[in-house]
Structures are given as structure tokens and as C-alpha cells.
Structure 1
């Protein structure tokens, strides 16, 4: 590094840190001023409207809203500036724009001093910051709100700042991030997924900054950064389209362990108000199910055991044929569900069969069947009430005429009796209305869609596989929509989603903006040759943009070379990070030897100072064979259920819970010669630095 340039960078860092300190003090004062203003205004207001309770309540509602909004904005900025004090920026770009020389520093968050229009730090999500992630120097452009802006990149620099101190920098005319990337990938895994703003690659940046109203589908090999790309895309979209998206983003992960694992990424990027859950939780909540549902892991256990009956059921309920069967059921219900009856009031026909048929087949035909029936029920009920009101009016008119025809002497004798008879008749009319409403409900109300589904599929105990189908029937029969407004959906491990799930999400939410990531190689069950996630053009048309990522950044060259051989074709291009160790494969003959070998390997991994180590088995049954014995000799957490919270260290985990996670060192314990290569691929690609396979013979 050039000494003079190093001093220049140190000087700029010092100026930036001073600016940050001033802005932090400025925002602390702002927060105090807001509090003082609110207290002063409150005092005056309450004094003025002391006797008007409604006014005081109204004031406190409004005050709470204003206070929350002001404080939220100020606190977010204070949190960002405090984080920036540690490392204000990580990149610098010099470029020429329309003949003018420009220079920007790129950081995790932006900093524009109050009263200035020049950004001291540009947020990595800002359009101009994309120049840092471009591949090479020279002429290029970036997308601004006003369109493409042509520029000429003159220099690009990666800057390392730790705890407010300049550690060094790299310059490059090709791709500035490789040296830093090697360094970061060689470090140990944290207990959580990391953000990658310092090392986003050109192809990843293109996906992150793709247009909002697109269905972005990423089919990437293990370790290609699919999940981090998806989360950084969410942060990018919220930064640039906060008004439209706000709290309307939904992230769907495969299980609760995975949701917890990715949970810290968005907050480190300044986004905390994002709904993250599994598809099962989402579906159960939307259906309103109270009964227990068999989760998907129970099916995966059976699949890994080779249970052909379960595999057949999964393929059936995830296939195109099942959608046709559901459609056919909806058609049958349309034709045969309601047995129309004329509606009468005291034997007088109020709504005839012909009129009811016309309401169903013409006037409200555009509505889903059960929503239509409820609409027609309201129409008929309204006509019944009209008839009731007519009879009451006629009765009152008759009583009035009768009373008018009586002499004063007759009135004294008859008036109370006539009023008594009038009231009896009104009660009869009201009872008739109630009776006719009950008769109406007998044929126009529908049973629950869950019960309809159970009956026609002959299902007693609902499972994860039934949830998309129930939602599909709710959409088709009742026009169901989500309880919350959703404007962008992220789906992770999307290779395991059926076309029915994609249809349900589209129809329920009306959403047209998606980030869908998965790995076609990691399907434990191949419902069809090509996963549904790669066939979404039939559902979304030209809005779909497909990306394929075949470069893996997670594991060492040796590990990815081993994993690649497990696939039908060598589709993985490993990022060339040569590890210290080759993949090791050993055989053991008895259980004592197996436990000893695992414990010895754990000790070796401890000597390497690995923070996170996983022993991965094919399924829970294999996990239970070794977990109790291992716990006698070492502290280890068993992932034997979905609600386990991972906090780093040593774990023993079945293959399907390990999907999407990563560990410094992995030990695969294989009890079965017939373990599918795909399962081995999933297990092997969890390892960052070291992998050992122990085959129990």
C-alpha cells in the first residue's frame, strides 16, 4: 500500500468519524427536543381542555402516534450511526460523470450531514453504490430513478476498517473483492448467517437490484449465497421502496430452525419489521385451524426410510393431477351442492325457484360459490324482512282503522284487547321470520371447507400436504384473501414447493413481486423432473426472471469437489479457496469404535478452534443411535425437533434440518449403504472448512 495514499485514507476516515460523532450528538439533541416539545405542548393542551375528556383522549392518541414516528426515525438513525462508528465504509469508487470527477465511499448505511447535499457515506443499497459491485473499470452505467446514468469508473478500492481504525485497502481494475472474499470465507462461521455487503459479487448484485415488480427465481448450487442474496434483496427493496412495501414483506423459510438462523441478517442491514415464518405456520393461520397438523418432517423421515406409500402420497398431492381433482370437486359443488327451495312467508312465496336460480346463475355468477350463496342469503333475508315490515304496516293500518270506527264507549271496552291482539300478531310475524331464516340456512349455508376437503379426500388427520389444497378450495369456493396486505414474498428452499403452493400464494395475496430461491439438486423428493420453481412462467408470464448460480463460495475446493461428484452432472464451480485438509472417509465396525472416532474428530476440530461443528445423520432415527452416548462425553445439542434454538457450538442434526445451515466442520455419520447421493450432497455441502465421513459397517 502506498504510504501517502494510506495517510490520505486515514485522514478521510478521521474526518468521517468526526462527522459521525457530530451527527450522533445532533440526533441525541433532536430526541431531547422532541421529548421537551411534547411535554410542553401536553401541559398546555391538558390545561386548556381539562374538562373535555374526549379531547384529552384524542390528543393522547395523536401524541402517541407522532411520538412513536419521530422516535422511530431518530432511534433508527442513531443505531445506524453508532454501527458506522465501528466501520463507516468498506469501499470507494472514483468515476467520471458527464465530464465531472466524482468520488463515493460505500458503507452499510448512508451519512449525509445535516445542511449538506453531499453524502459522506453512500448506503450500499443506493443506485449509485452499484458501481462498487460492477466487475471491471471503464465505461458502464447505473440505474437512477430518472433512468440509466452513463459513467466511466476510474478506480475501485476495498477498504478495511475495524473498530474505527484503518487496517488496509486493496485496489483492483478487475474485481476488488476477491482478496477480501478469500479472507472472509476462510474465517469461522458464526451462529447466524452473515450479511455480505462487503463481498457481494457482480452476479449476486444484479439479482439484488433487479426490478421490484418481477418474479425473481434463483436456482443456485449449495453455497452460492441464495439465502443471503434474498435477504439483501429485501433490504434493498425496503430502502428504495419503503413507502410501497413498508411492513408488507413476507419471508417463508423451510422450518423454525432456519428462520431463527437467518433472523439476525435483516436487523444488521437496518430492517427489523419483516414477517418471517414457515409456509405451514402461514397456511394454518390463514385457514384458522385449531386441530394439530402432521408436520413435513414426519414425511421426510418416512421418505428417507424409503417408504414408497408416503413418497407416492407426496407426489400425488404435489402433482398437477391433484390440482385437476380439486378443480373437478369445485365444479361438482357448483352443480350439486345447493338444493334450491322456494322461500315462503306464511305460505306466501316471497322468492321463487326461478328467481333463486337466476340470482345464482346470472346476477352473482362472477362470485365464488360460497361467497355467492352468502350474498344471495343476504338478498333473500332482506326480502323476508321487507315482507315482515309490509305485514306489520298492514296490521298497524288495520288496527288504526278499527280503532277509528269505534265509539268512545266501545274504545274503553275494546282498545286494550285490540292492542293485545296486535302484539300477539306481531310476535307471530317475527317468529315466522325467524323460522324462515332457519329454513333458508338449512340449504343456503355451507359446511366448513376443511370438512368438505376431509370428506371428499377421505382424510381423518390433516398434514402439511393438505394445507395448500384446503387454501386452494377456500380461494376457489370463497374467494379467500390474506388477512394482511403483502406486497413482496421471499421463498427459500423453493425447490420443495409444489405448483399448488405457488398458485395459492399468488391468489391469496394478489402479490406480483417475489424473490424465489432454491437448489434443484437438493430435492429430497422429485415430484417431477423439473421443480415447479423453474416452471413459473406458466403462472406469472413475462414477469419471471430466472437466474442460475453455479459458483459455490461456502466450502473449500476439496469439499465442493467431493460434493460435485454426488450429482448427476458436475454442475458446481467452486470458488478456488484451497483448504488445509482433504475430505476424509473412514469405516468403523462397531458402536464403541464409532463413538471413539466421532469424539477424536471433535477434538481435532476443537484444535482448529472451529466455533460451530455439526454431526449430521440421515434422519432422527440415526441421530438417536448416537446422541445419548455422545452426550456422556461432550456438550452437544441434538436437533431432534423443530423448535430447537441454535446458538452455535457442537450440534447433532438430521439432514433435512441441516438444509440451508453452515458449519466450520462437519462429521457425516452414515449407517446405511443405500443413502441417496442427493442426501449425501446436502450433508456434505454444510461444511465450510473440513469434512469427514464415517461409514458404520
Structure 2
């Protein structure tokens, strides 16, 4: 049982009064009740903080001990992870409370804390624990055994407010913790995403806790919390399935700026077994060196390249033929049929691993040939010298040491098993044999192979016959530096070639090791802005998680990439077929209602048949539009930005413009971010200045880009129309 509830002493209307539950008490009574509730929660926060500090000090003391063996090192890694989780849980340690109808009280926080009484209830429930789920899912219609939910607002070690929700049927609002949620949404933006564990909503929590047995594709419009859901799902899965942490989690974002924006979320939740990257940075040592046309990006993003590259590498395998090997001055012939059998046994493996397996078989076959030839020579000798060999045999028996046996071969010339095994080892280590194998089955380089293929029209026509003559010409005319669409092709080739991975150094965090290994297999992969991935980029994802434990979040209506798909079924069919699960986020929390009202006609222009998410809040600031000329644009934009920064002092302002205007605006607007619609994906500011919306709409997939640009603000949207 939890602690006994003080519900009757505090009252259900503390903090923000919920719609439909106006308390009949006076303002003075409300103030007394509020102060009493804050004091009560401050007392608990002090207790939980002291317990957290004691546990952290204990773990730190254990970590200072020397670790000698592998088992101890593994234990220390676990202790270090627990210590880091406690150390980071300083801000927002306690943020919620559930008062059960049975009189129990359970507090919810960023981490779980054991009570001093090891056999009793936890002092603090981890937000990811099953017992904490009613904090996110209980409603007045379905209270799940709860009488009240309390949101606790803290700053540092001080409780600064509480928001109570009675769950006894007197409140029927659709939002969980509406007061705390709206307070969080109205806060100034800092340019970094923060955790949202205290204000997650039911549809978000359902996705966070969904099973991870296959691909989960989450459709969500602007401001629905897609990224929040994806990152908190990582934290939940690492908590609920510790084995995933042994393999790490890969988080793929659309841009380095986006990854910087979300960088603090998972560490703040205590998670370290996470690798963050973009599709362009997944290959260690490979960097994108040039931009390319949308036409080429679309061509090289098609699924046809996967079988094309497989056939290309297969064509480079050696063909069966008779092999003539030299060993200790003698030549040995390996029959073509034997070579064909060995090649068939390694078929289907990556190129270099197949060669290694073939070489091992070749060493055995050569050793057998050497043994057989020696035995044959001995048989020839024995036919004419039986008497001599008999006398030699008798003399060797007389000369043997009484306590031991012969150290060499038997007198009949047969090699012992130990001698045959030694022969195999010497053959495997022989440089001449290694050079022969390398010449017949050479080491290949993915970059060289891809350049050879992409610059040779004949090879392209042979291995990618689906391409038209014009498309082949366009691809083969590309310059040398790699473009973004080349990275998945390089990755596919590297996988088909099969590098040998290095062993994991002892004591290294799994994420640090995974980050350096192209072929690392992750326990789970999260893809944000997933609608932008090409079919070949989805193959990159699948290679890194063959278990298909994948969460992909995005908005198909915000797709701006060069690919042609306009539905999730089209986007993931090449990678997943029909074996994936769909989920949807329908409520917009970030973008105010005044701005979301502008999006429906833009979506129609984009060809969408979806309904925009429903905004649940109003900023009270109507979107505004100014008209300017090209000559006056710089001055008008500069003045508008200054006014927005003054109005939203302490928050953030962002500028979005067509790609062709970025260069002229960057030096004029100081340190305010000036981005294209594509670059702004996943980001948010208190206020957005949208410059030349017609210019954005005129870009490729421009209406989708305009939809993105309109929905980046949390408070105010201004537009400069250039005439």
C-alpha cells in the first residue's frame, strides 16, 4: 500500500481551477489550500531529494573501487549508468502524484527511488513504471482506481505550484493535466527541446508504451508532439527492455541542427545507450561533399538499386576453375569441381566473409593434397623396398626411448593428426598462398566500386535496366564528391562486401562503440521526420535493425524530399511490405489555433486528403501580414524581427524564407536563425517571421514546405509578402 491520501484535507480545486469544476470556496480559502498543498509537496520533495542524494553517494563510492575482472567491469558499467540517471534527475525529480480511491498516495518522478524500507512501496515511482501509467491515462470517465491526479511544478529544489484534477466524474476535459500542460506550452522557447514527462497526453503515452515487436509508423501533424513521443519512447523501451540497452538505440534525425535541438532530452532522462545521427552521417569517415538536383536524388533513392548492387557484387565473385598452388617447391592442382563446391558453400555471404570462408576451405584442401601426395610417394617407395623398410623399422624400434614414442611420422610415412593440423596452420599463415588468394579473389573498396558503376553507362544499363537512357546519362555525368543520395548506395555496397568489425574494448560505453561501427546492429531505431526518407534510406535503417524494432514518426503532408510517395504505405512498402503498424497523433499542442486555421487550404494545394490536427490552445495573437517590395525587403524584415524579439524577450524568434533568399537575408538579421522550410523541420520558436510565402510555395513540393513553415511558432506568426 502507498501512503495515505491527504485528499480530504487539501481539497480538489487547488491550483488552476479546471473547466466545469469551479469551487464554491472563497479566494482566501483557495489561497490557504494552495499554500498547504505546496507545503505538503515541498516536504515530500525534500524527502525524495535526500533519498536520491544518499543513493547517488552510495553508487559513487562503489564506482571508486578498482574493477579487476570482466564481471566486475560489467557491474560497474551498470552502476555508472544508475549513478548518471540519479545525478541528472535534479530538475523535476518529482512532478506528479496519484491519490487512489483506496486512500493510497503514489508520487511520480523522473526516476524511481526505493524507500528506506526495502520491502515496502517505492518512495517515488519511475514515470515509465506500469504503476505510473494512470498518471497519463486516467480520466473522469475511466479513473482507473484514482480519485485525483496532481501535477507538481518545481524550480530546482522548490515546489512553486500544483494543479489538481479530480477524477471522480466532476471534470470531463479531454486533456490530462490541462493546467500544467498549458503552462508548459506558454513558456518561452530556449532553442533546446526539454522533457515532457510531466505533461504527456493519453494518445502520446499509448504510443510511447506500445510493443516494440515490429515497425511502428506514427503519423502526426505539426505540434502533435511526434518528437517528444519518439524520444520518450526510447527512454521507456530502455527502461522496460534492458536488453535493448546492450545493443544501444539509434535516433535518426533530419539534420544536425535538429539533433542539436533534441540533444538534451535523452541525457536529461538518464539515457546514455543512444546514438544520434542523420542518414548522411551513418557511415564513419564518409561525408557529403556536394548538393545535387532533385531529379538525381529521386533516381538514386529508388528501391531498384538494392538488387542492382547485389547483382553487381555477385558479378565480381571469382568463377570456378582449376587452381594450381605451389607449396614447398611442389605444385598441387585443385580440381575445378572442388573449387565449384567450395564456392557454392559460401554463396550468399558478404563478399569478403565469403572469401575468408573459401580461403579456410582452400587451406584444408591443399593440406589434404599435400598429405595424399606424400602418402602416394611412400607407397611407391614401399613397392620396391619392403625388406629394407622392415629392417629400418626394427632398428628404429630398438633406438626408441623406453618411456616415450616417436616424435615424428610413423614409419609408414603417415602424418599424425597433430602434424596435419600443424601443416594446415602453416599453409594458412603462408604469405605466398595469401597473395595467390588475394590475386584470384581481390579485396574490394565500396567507394571505388560505386564510382566505377555510376560513371559507366554500360554497367548501369546492365545492372539497373529499369533506368531509362536519359536517367543513365544523368547519373553517369555526376562529379566525384559524394552527394546525400550516394550514402545509402555506399552503405549497401559496404554491407554486401562485409567488413570485419573490431571487438568491443572493455569498459567502453556501448553507444561509443556502436557510433564507430558501420555494421552495428541496434536494439531499436527511431526515425524522426520519417516521411523524408527515400526507399534506399529505409534500407539503411533496416540493415541496422534486422529485428524491425523500429519507431518512425513524421507527417506525410510535410514531405519535401525528391521521392514520389504521398502515403506511408508507398513510403515503407519496399522495406517493410505490409508488415507494419500505424498510429496517429491528432491533437496539436504547440501551434496556436489562430495559426492552424490557416493550414487547411495550404494542405489542399499540397494534394493532401488529411485533416489538420486539432489545436487545443489559443495564443490570443492573430497572424499578421505585411507587404513589401524587393528593394524594401531587407529593411522591413529587419524591423519586423526587432519588434518580434522585443515582444518575445527571453524567448526565440525564427525566420523562414525561400532557398533563393537565404543568402541575402543571413547577414542582415544578426543571430536570428534564417532557414529554408526544409531546414526548419522539427524546430519551433515563440514567433516566426515567414518571408515570401509565395516563393516557398513555388519551390518543388512548395505547398508542403509552406505547411511546415506556417506551423513552427508557439505564439505569433508574421508574414512578409514580396510584390
1:9 corresponds, among 37, 43, 51, to: 37
1:293 corresponds, among 266, 288, 295, to: 288
1:364 corresponds, among 346, 352, 355, to: 346
Report if the CA contact (8 A) 1:489-1:515 is conserved. yes
Report if the CA contact (8 A) 1:588-1:694 is conserved. yes
TM-aligned CA deviation for residue 378 of structure 1: 2.7
Q: Does 1:95 align with 2:100?
A: yes
Gaps of 5+ in 2: 1-12, 15-28, 382-387, 393-422, 456-475, 502-517
Structure 1 match to 2:229: 229
Structure 2 match to 1:343: 324
Classify 1:507/1:389 alpha carbon distance in 2 versus 1 (closer, same or farther; 3 Å).
same
Distance 1:474 1:74 in 2: 38
Q: Please give the TM-score of this superposition, normalised by the length of structure 1.
A: 0.76
Structure with greater helix percent:
1
Distance 2:500 2:72 in 1: 37
Q: Does 1:469 align with 2:489?
A: yes
Distance 1:229 1:534 in 2: 23
1:622 corresponds, among 625, 641, 661, to: 661
Report if the CA contact (8 A) 1:584-1:691 is conserved. yes
Gaps of 5+ in 1: 43-57, 141-150, 300-309, 405-425, 631-635, 638-649
Report if the CA contact (8 A) 2:52-2:113 is conserved. no
Q: Does 1:126 align with 2:129?
A: yes
1:572 corresponds, among 588, 596, 612, to: 612
Q: Does 1:547 align with 2:583?
A: yes
1:376 corresponds, among 353, 358, 374, to: 358
Classify 1:606/1:18 alpha carbon distance in 2 versus 1 (closer, same or farther; 3 Å).
closer
Residues 275-354 of structure 1 aligned to structure 2 (within 5 Å): 275-282=275-282, 284-285=283-284, 289=286, 292-294=287-289, 298-299=291-292, 310-330=293-313, 332-333=315-316, 338=319, 340-345=321-326, 348-354=331-337
Distance 1:24 1:507 in 2: 40
Classify 1:66/1:122 alpha carbon distance in 2 versus 1 (closer, same or farther; 3 Å).
closer
Q: Please give the TM-score of this superposition, normalised by the length of structure 2.
A: 0.73
Distance 2:637 2:342 in 1: 72
Q: Does 1:167 align with 2:161?
A: yes
Report if the CA contact (8 A) 1:587-1:694 is conserved. yes
Structure 1 match to 2:86: 77
Superimposed CA distance per residue, residues 207-257 of structure 1 (whole angstroms, 9 cap, x where no aligned partner): 011113232211111211111110011111112222442461111111211
Classify 1:134/1:537 alpha carbon distance in 2 versus 1 (closer, same or farther; 3 Å).
farther
Classify 1:517/1:320 alpha carbon distance in 2 versus 1 (closer, same or farther; 3 Å).
same
Structure 2 match to 1:562: 598
Report if the CA contact (8 A) 1:587-1:695 is conserved. yes
Instruction: Say which is worse superposed, 63-72 or 155-164, in terms of deviation.
Output: 63-72
Classify 1:112/1:475 alpha carbon distance in 2 versus 1 (closer, same or farther; 3 Å).
same
Aligned to 2:691, the other structure's residue is in SS state strand
Structure 1 match to 2:633: 594
Distance 2:98 2:433 in 1: 78
Distance 2:189 2:654 in 1: 12
Report if the CA contact (8 A) 1:158-1:176 is conserved. no
TM-aligned CA deviation for residue 111 of structure 1: 2.8
TM-aligned CA deviation for residue 293 of structure 1: 3.1
Aligned to 1:655, the other structure's residue is in SS state coil
Classify 1:475/1:165 alpha carbon distance in 2 versus 1 (closer, same or farther; 3 Å).
closer
TM-aligned CA deviation for residue 624 of structure 1: 1.1
Q: Does 1:515 align with 2:548?
A: no
Structure 1 match to 2:675: 653
Superimposed CA distance per residue, residues 459-492 of structure 1 (whole angstroms, 9 cap, x where no aligned partner): 5443221221232234345498854341011111
Distance 2:165 2:95 in 1: 12
Structure 2 match to 1:582: 622
Structure 1 match to 2:566: 530
Distance 1:330 1:29 in 2: 56
Classify 1:507/1:607 alpha carbon distance in 2 versus 1 (closer, same or farther; 3 Å).
closer
TM-aligned CA deviation for residue 166 of structure 1: 4.5
Structure 2 match to 1:47: none
Report if the CA contact (8 A) 1:453-1:470 is conserved. yes
Structure 2 match to 1:696: 722
Distance 1:34 1:327 in 2: 51
Classify 1:558/1:60 alpha carbon distance in 2 versus 1 (closer, same or farther; 3 Å).
same
Report if the CA contact (8 A) 1:123-1:129 is conserved. yes
Distance 2:55 2:544 in 1: 42
